[in-house]
A = this chain, B = another copy of it.
Amino acid sequence: MLRVLRQNGAQSRNEIAARVGLSRTTVSEITSDLLGRGAIRVVDTDAVERVGSGRPAERLALDPASGQYMGVDFGHRRVNVLVADAAHDIIASGTARYEESAQWPERLDAGLALIDRLSAETGVHYGALQAIAIGVPGWGDRSSADGVAEVFATRFHAGVIVDNNVRFAGLAEALHAQSDSVRDLIYLRLSDGVGGGLVVGGQLVKGSNGYAGELGHVTAVPGGARCRCGKSGCVETVASVPAILGRCRELGVPVDTLDDLKAAVEIAHPTVDQVLREAGTAVGRVLGTAAMTLNPDEIVLGGEIIQVAPALLRQVADTVTYELSWRIDAAPVIRPALLSDDGGARGAIAALFHESPLLAGYEANVTTDGGR
């Protein structure tokens, strides 16, 4: 029951009963005991859900003061920080910018200064900080990020996990899906590069070496353009923002930025439309294969270009739909990302609440006692 509250935030007794599979009566007995011991609190009432007598149902949560959880997302040009309490409420949030050329020491300083500033502004002193999750860009080369983890661990005397920030954003999308039934999801972000993440059974999947969902360097166009990774025709060579802008320019359309692209899309420029459709077809083929590998509930496309150029998402969706046409009931929902730029930090905190070994105390107890 404590795990349900930790993973899902505030819940009514009916919601708890549904999640743990116990009767409403049994849940009431146990919550009464936990309330008496101060482990949980009534945080508010849910005006929509009413109990038999017509009173609004109380919502219960872990004692908010019992823990703080920090999510940090170091992007290429900014760091986002979010701090949540044990009831899942965000109690501090902020962003600090740096140049794309900034190296790790500078990025780290910007992050720590932001965290200090948030404390001064909100009065949150990180005294109950239980764990920190840090998202960083890029693939497996995380040696520099290891140093970052140490700095945070020493500074805050808390456990730290580090993972790819796009992967964290994918987890956040799965948890913010409109339906609780979204358990399996593929997330792909088209940006300066192309990255992604995979959620299976509501959990972030790393795979054998932390590359699960990294579809940017799958061959989309055999024999295509040379990629920075050393191969040819990777997804990134046709569907990253620089690749799409570059292809438009090759065909004579002068677009240097996403704003230029947006303007060209707004006048329905046929060459730009053609480039977006080519990119969407290539991405859609790769996602079609990924979708048959996992058979996910949803495929989510992130990155600013998805908002700027809706034809891209449409073409991806059409291509995936064709690929899965042999089994129409396998077709996932294909949608743009719902979360904005703070998705990475939200997902980092979600990873702490849902799956970090740092917070696995309840599960560890479960295994030890219950396994007997």
Residues of A within 8 A of B (CB): 1-4, 20-22, 30, 34, 139-140, 183-184, 186, 198, 200-201, 203, 205-215, 217-219, 222, 227, 229-231, 234, 285-286, 288-290, 292-297, 322-323, 325-327, 329-330, 332, 362, 364-372
Q: Is the pair B207, A295 in contact by a Cβ cutoff of 8 Å?
A: yes
Bound form: Cα–Cα A294–B294 in Å = 8
Q: Is the pair A293, B294 in contact by a Cβ cutoff of 8 Å?
A: yes
Choice from B209, B327, B372 contacting A139 with Cβ under 8 Å:
B327
Q: Is the pair B288, A218 in contact by a Cβ cutoff of 8 Å?
A: yes
Q: Which residues of B contact A231 (CB under 8 A)?
A: 322-323, 325-326
Q: Which residues of B contact A215 (CB under 8 A)?
A: 289, 292-293
Q: Is the pair A295, B208 in contact by a Cβ cutoff of 8 Å?
A: yes
Choice from B2, B285, B330, B366 contacting A219 with Cβ under 8 Å:
B285
Q: Is the pair A289, B218 in contact by a Cβ cutoff of 8 Å?
A: yes
Bound form: Cα–Cα A206–B296 in Å = 9
Q: Which residues of B contact A286 (CB under 8 A)?
A: 289
Q: Is the pair B292, A208 in contact by a Cβ cutoff of 8 Å?
A: no
Q: Which residues of B contact A22 (CB under 8 A)?
A: 368
Bound form: Cα–Cα A247–B126 in Å = 67
Bound form: Cα–Cα A230–B323 in Å = 11
Choice from B140, B293, B364 contacting A186 with Cβ under 8 Å:
B293
Q: Is the pair A371, B20 in contact by a Cβ cutoff of 8 Å?
A: yes
Choice from B3, B214, B289 contacting A290 with Cβ under 8 Å:
B289
Bound form: Cα–Cα A286–B219 in Å = 10
Q: Is the pair A295, B372 in contact by a Cβ cutoff of 8 Å?
A: no
Q: Nearest 7 CB-CB pairs, A to B?
A: A207-B295, A366-B370, A229-B326, A211-B295, A212-B295, A370-B370, A289-B289
Distance from A30 Cβ to chain B, minimum over Cβ atoms (Å):
6
Closest to A210 in B: B295
Q: Is the pair A212, B293 in contact by a Cβ cutoff of 8 Å?
A: yes
Distance from A97 Cβ to chain B, minimum over Cβ atoms (Å):
30
Q: Which residues of B contact A214 (CB under 8 A)?
A: 292, 295, 327, 330
Q: Which residues of B contact A213 (CB under 8 A)?
A: 292-293, 295
Distance from A198 Cβ to chain B, minimum over Cβ atoms (Å):
7
Q: Is the pair A294, B370 in contact by a Cβ cutoff of 8 Å?
A: no
Q: Which residues of B contact A295 (CB under 8 A)?
A: 206-214
Q: Is the pair A369, B369 in contact by a Cβ cutoff of 8 Å?
A: yes
Q: Is the pair A208, B371 in contact by a Cβ cutoff of 8 Å?
A: no
Bound form: Cα–Cα A369–B325 in Å = 45
